[in-house]
Amino acid sequence: MTPPNTERRHPRSTGLGALDANAVLSLMDDEEPVVTRAVARARPALAAAAVEMARTCASGGTVAFVGGGTSGHLVLQEVAELGPTFGAPPGRFRAHIASSSLHDPAVVTAREDDGEAGPAAVADLGPGDLLIAVAASGSTPFVLATVRNAHGIRTCGIANNPDAPLLAEVDFPILLDTGPELLTGSTRLKAGTAQKLALNRITTAAHVLLGAVRENHMVELRGTNDKLRRRAVAIVTDLMGVDEDRAREALDAAGWHVRSAVEHLAAP
């Protein structure tokens, strides 16, 4: 059986095991443009996914991500950042992952070969929701079974192989064709990097469409710790042209929600 691109040996790295550290990094540097080119080629599909995510959120729907292995870890990281960055309400975004390297039952749904846990995890989703499935191979049983059982739910799939079954099963297919890895089969490298870039693009563009960005600032940010409060003060001073004391006063009155503080300062 012919292996998928992500599992093939890279012809330029057959001597990888004999290289010194500098040579290893040089080889990786030379290969990195493959990632950015793959993501750039997928721009129309990424934009379509961002529009669909924004539409789902605007109508109060849920966006569920599923992934296994490296893809699962990336999904979990992306979802964890959306609340602090964009003020996403609890439950709007959620992650269902399969991983053998994590042991916290709060985040590990199943093993990657489990074809039953994924569908069960998203059984409560409906026509107003969106499912985003991520798998380098595009054939991970946990991920593929989830998509195949997502009846009546809009689906988006991200994979790194042109013939990935996942891409044939979804409404919004996104191919990130990063080819063979320098370390054979280690999709935490180019494939994972491309997936991270793709997820960043989809979620950021979606929240721009949702109005969570003003100029280039995160206006839905809430100052829940010292770092975020400093950032909130900087945003309000920059957007409203007030000094830091006035910004802090407005933020304090607004519960440290940037948009509310800005609207307070803008009121006549």
Cα angle 72, 76, 77 (rounded to 5 degrees) comes to 120
* DSSP H or E segment with residue 181: none
Kindly name the residue from 52, 112, 181, 220 that is annotated as catalytic. Answer: 112
Sign of CA dihedral 173, 178, 179, 183: negative
Please, what's the b/e burial string for 179-209 (b: 16 or more CB within 10 A of its CB; e: otherwise)? bbbbbebebbbbbbbbbbbbbebbbbbbbeb
How big is the chain, counted in residues?
Answer: 268
Beta strands per DSSP E along the chain: 63-68, 93-98, 108-110, 130-134, 154-159, 172-175, 213-214, 217-218
| 43-to-6, 48, 176 alpha-carbon distances in Å | 21, 9, 10
Active site residue 112: yes
**Measured between alpha carbons, how far is 21 from 3 in angstroms, rounded to an integer?**
29
Catalytically active residues, by annotation: 81, 112
